[in-house]
Amino acid sequence: MAEPKIQNSSPVGESTPRIDAREKVTGAAIYTDDLQFGNALLYARIKRSPHPHALIKKTDVARAKALPGVKAVVTGEDFPGYIGLYLQDRYIFCRDRARYVGDPVAGVAAVSEEIAQKALDLIEVQYEALEPVLDPEAGIRPDAPLLHPDLGKYVVAGFIYPKAGTNISNHFKLRKGNVEEAWDKCAAVIERSYRIPHIQHVPIEPHIAIAKVDERGEVTMWTSSQSPFAQRNLIAQSLGISQSEMRVISPAVGGGFGGKAGVSMESLAVAIATKVKGHPVKLRLTREEEFFTAFVRQGLSAHFKMGCDKNGKLLAMENCFYWDGGAYTEYGVNIARAAGYSCTGPYEVPNVKGDSYCVYTNHPVGGPMRGFGMPEMHAGLEQCMDELAAQIGMDAVEFRKLNCLKTDSILATGGKIHPIGLEECIQKAANAVDWGRKSPASAPNKRRGKGIAAMWKAPAMPPNAGSSAWVELAEDGKVNVGIGGQDIGQGAFTISAQMAAATLGVPYEWVRVAAPVDTRYSPYEWQTVASRLTWSMGNAIVNAAKDVRKQILDLVAEAWDESPDELDIVNGVVISYKSEKETPLKNLVIYGLPNPDGRGWKGGPVIGRGNFMPKDVTGLDAETGQGEHGVVHYTTGAQAVELEVDLDTGRIEILKGVAAFDVGKAINPELVKAQMEGGLVQGISSALLEHLQLKDGFPKNANLVDYRIATSSDIPREMQSIIVEVAQDDGPWGARGIGEHSMVPTIPAIANAIFDAVGIRLEGPPFTAEKIYLAMLDAGIVK
């Protein structure tokens, strides 16, 4: 059989698959509570710590319990279990101490949100304020206050290395060659430091969860989630119940970007619901709470040292990262790990020393955000590449092309890189902005510049993160596809339908994706994170569709006395290339086919199943970071920008943004381009505007007035997305992910363009007009 073709005959808006009607009912229910839950619904609010670091000496909830309308008040004493993905380092509610402003101390369920809020004011908590840790580099000092005295007792994943008796929750080491000997051989060496601030995901829809515990103790939670199966597992573990007694239903997600992965506030709703059995309990974060009590992107203090020979060939790198992991680092520890094994960027370097520390601080909890540490890490590294090239008088594009990874290049972790098209991405991005040709500014008071940056990113996941799928057919021959991955706007449902249709041999319009994701009925999916669904879940869908296809062709082959190899399914019709017989699927996929002698039937309802899990991921040595196959694969690419700086105001205008990425195979080219554009815009937002301002541990701009994100007025005048396709050997049709990668190189591309325009560099983003103008003033560029 020839390789099935993916159908891409219509634009994105017209190619959306039909979704099972359940989504329309349940999806609306989380917002129209009275229709689904009636007057049994209770509303929860959370009492939060006003201190960045404090011991909890006493909690008195008597007055709150006595308030009419209050149905339950809970504290940490009610829930002794730890919770966490890679590191179980926190309670659902604080027990002995609070570790950040906003840490949940108590919870209330009441008949209205207003009464619940009043009850919070009646809860009396006595604190003993402690000295906070407010900087990751200060946090690793021996005399720093110890935030987690029990760190050595926490349950931790085998590839995470916490240091008991310190604030270091993970230290990833990478060692290759001999860095000290290499420095003397370098013709040019640079050392630079950068600081990347915390930012927020700012989903349009804040976090929300509704949890209900029935009289048998079985739990149902409705929540906007990227991780329904992980939430089922982690919350059940913490509460000491069976995973089979916990059900998570996840309707459409109103913005995720990583912030709705894992568990943040969802466990609070479930915990409170255990005290009011039979009543659903709704917990909704306010916009202010969303900014600092849900996950934030970690801050980073990064130090780079790198050198090359006179021909521009990289000889050595020594990089050290201090991640501001916040009060709890259940997810942050893996971000530090990913940055550690990726610390060289997409370059072949013979001598490497890398250290990546995840450090506890008394800041909001750091968690996954689009790029998973790679935008922060690349922000400084790619500026260093420009500076090192300049030191030896080499063009920045040629310097990157000389040093970038190519097929079979040796990685810093020891193995070889799979086939990639990074060099092509760099060249095409440069060509798109007319690299090497200086364009005139639009006005006398403006300066124009161009910048480029490359990137790489692997799916940062455990070695055994699995996917599964089922495919079934209805009486009319139409196809239902069951998946556990979530569509968060990236088009997961669309490509699921495309891959099932192409594999099975039916029109795309015949495929319907069963939604919402429901852990009781949907097949298992680890999480919708790491830009892995097209690759991992896609393989599971293909395997399930192949299972269905085999059942159908075997059945027809037996009925027609032919070989399955002589049969095919084309546009929903089984055809024989030998006898030229044909029969539509609707004639056989439910009721089967009659035996030729008229005695009985064969076949029956057709349903296929498939799964996928990478089989060859190896561990990385704890002391050297070396391993043959430490990650499943890398997606690589580059961005180039052209911008203007206003000398009178410092304001930056992005004139053109170009993204070129090797996606292996674009299953849906329009969706791929949309991801490139969206990532570019979000990257611009983080480069020019965003900064969650924390002073002494207190958030100062937790609102959409003082915290700016990019809007339509900030989008470049021109955006261009370039697809490069070098097939991934184990991807469906050769595909790999692109969702996060398009945000990774934006900050350094803009920083390099600013330097090209006006000759200044800043310690880190955001590159606001005020900071740019003051830097130009200090440099004597303006007076």
Q: Dump pLDDT digits (tens) for 445-495.
A: 999 999 999 999 999 999 999 999 999 999 999 999 999 999 999 999 999
Q: What is the pLDDT of residue 33?
A: 61
Q: Measured between alpha carbons, how far is 228 from 263 in angstroms, rounded to an integer?
A: 9
Summarize the confidence of residues 517-535 as an average pLDDT: 98
Question: Which band of pLDDT confidence, cut at 50, 70 and 90, is reported for residue 209?
Answer: very high
Give the predicted TM-score (pTM) of the model.
0.96
In 3D space, the residue among 91, 103, 100, 164 whose CA is nearest the CA of residue 132 turns out to be 100
Domain boundaries, the chain: 21-29+465-612, 32-130+207-284, 296-461+619-778
Residue 463 has a CB neighbour count (10 Å cut-off) of 17
- Asked whether the predicted pLDDT for residue 729 surpasses 80, the reply is yes
- Asked whether the predicted pLDDT for residue 215 surpasses 50, the reply is yes
Q: What is the pLDDT of residue 596?
A: 84
Q: Residue 523 in 3-state DSSP?
A: coil
Q: Measured between alpha carbons, how far is 71 from 83 in angstroms, rounded to an integer?
A: 25
Least confident of 378-387, 588-597, 754-763: 588-597
- Asked whether the predicted pLDDT for residue 109 surpasses 90, the reply is yes
- Asked whether the predicted pLDDT for residue 16 surpasses 70, the reply is no
In 3D space, the residue among 739, 742, 740, 736 whose CA is nearest the CA of residue 721 turns out to be 742
- Asked whether the predicted pLDDT for residue 25 surpasses 50, the reply is no
Which residue's entry shows tokens 């690349």?
378
Summarize the confidence of residues 737-741 as an average pLDDT: 97
Question: Which band of pLDDT confidence, cut at 50, 70 and 90, is reported for residue 111?
Answer: very high
Question: Which band of pLDDT confidence, cut at 50, 70 and 90, is reported for residue 5?
Answer: confident
Q: What is the pLDDT of residue 8?
A: 60
Is there a common fold for 21-29+465-612 and 32-130+207-284?
no
Question: Which band of pLDDT confidence, cut at 50, 70 and 90, is reported for residue 766?
Answer: very high
Q: Measured between alpha carbons, how far is 359 from 171 in angstroms, rounded to an integer?
A: 9
Least confident of 27-31, 71-75, 157-161, 195-199: 27-31
Summarize the confidence of residues 201-217 as an average pLDDT: 97
List pLDDT tens digits, range 397-430.
999 999 999 999 999 999 999 999 999 999 999 9
Q: What is the pLDDT of residue 18?
A: 42
The partner residues of 239 in beta bridges, in order of sequence, read none
Q: What is the pLDDT of residue 35?
A: 72
- Give DSSP secondary structure letters for 427-467: HHHHHHTTTT-PPPPSSTTEEEEEEEEEEEE-----TT--E
Per annotation, catalytic residue among 525, 740, 763, 770: 740
Q: In sequence order, what are the residues at sequence separation of 6 or more whose Cβ sits closer than 8 angstroms to the Cβ of residue 780?
A: none
Distance in angstroms between the alpha carbons of the first and the last residue of the chain = 72
- Asked whether the predicted pLDDT for residue 650 surpasses 90, the reply is yes
Summarize the confidence of residues 93-113 as an average pLDDT: 98
- Asked whether the predicted pLDDT for residue 756 surpasses 60, the reply is yes
Summarize the confidence of residues 71-84 as an average pLDDT: 98
Summarize the confidence of residues 545-559 as an average pLDDT: 97
Summarize the confidence of residues 304-332 as an average pLDDT: 98
Q: What is the pLDDT of residue 7?
A: 72
> Phi, psi (5° rounding) for residue 473?
-120, 145
Q: What is the pLDDT of residue 493?
A: 97
Which numeric CATH code is attached to 32-130+207-284?
A: 3.90.1170.50
CATH 3.90.1150.10 fits 21-29+465-612, yes or no: no
Q: In sequence order, what are the residues at sequence separation of 6 or more whose Cβ sits closer than 8 angstroms to the Cβ of residue 39?
A: none
Secondary structure element (H or E) that encloses residue 750, with its range: helix 746-758
Alpha-carbon radius of gyration of the chain: 28
Summarize the confidence of residues 288-312 as an average pLDDT: 98
- Asked whether the predicted pLDDT for residue 32 surpasses 70, the reply is no
Q: What is the pLDDT of residue 23?
A: 34
What class, spelled out in words, does domain 296-461+619-778 have in CATH? alpha beta
Summarize the confidence of residues 647-655 as an average pLDDT: 98
Q: Measured between alpha carbons, how far is 565 from 550 in angstroms, rounded to an integer?
A: 10
- Asked whether the predicted pLDDT for residue 213 surpasses 70, the reply is yes
- Asked whether the predicted pLDDT for residue 140 surpasses 70, the reply is yes
Dump strand ranges (E) for 474-594. Answer: 479-483, 511-513, 517-518, 567-570, 573-576, 582-584, 593-594
Q: What is the pLDDT of residue 4?
A: 72
Q: Measured between alpha carbons, how far is 276 from 7 in angstroms, rounded to an integer?
A: 50
Query: Do 433 and 642 form a contact (C-beta atoms < 8 A)?
Result: yes
Secondary structure element (H or E) that encloses residue 555, with its range: helix 538-560
- Asked whether the predicted pLDDT for residue 122 surpasses 90, the reply is yes
Average pLDDT over the chain reads: 95
Q: What is the pLDDT of residue 263?
A: 97
Q: What is the pLDDT of residue 252?
A: 86
The share of the chain scoring above pLDDT 70, in percent, equals 96
Buried b (16+ CB within 10 A) or exposed e, 632-641: bbbbbbbbbb
List pLDDT tens digits, range 156-200.
999 999 999 999 999 999 999 999 999 999 999 999 999 999 999
Q: In sequence order, what are the residues at sequence separation of 6 or more whose Cβ sits closer than 8 angstroms to the Cβ of residue 772?
A: 645, 650, 651, 652, 754, 758, 760, 762
- Asked whether the predicted pLDDT for residue 333 surpasses 90, the reply is yes
423 as an active site residue: the answer is no
- Asked whether the predicted pLDDT for residue 128 surpasses 80, the reply is yes
**Token duo for residue 136:** 């990751």
Which has more pLDDT, 32 or 598? Answer: 598
Q: What is the pLDDT of residue 334?
A: 98
Summarize the confidence of residues 509-528 as an average pLDDT: 98
- Asked whether the predicted pLDDT for residue 309 surpasses 80, the reply is yes
Summarize the confidence of residues 329-354 as an average pLDDT: 98
Is 311 buried (19+), middle (13-18) or exposed (0-12) by CB count in 10 A?
exposed
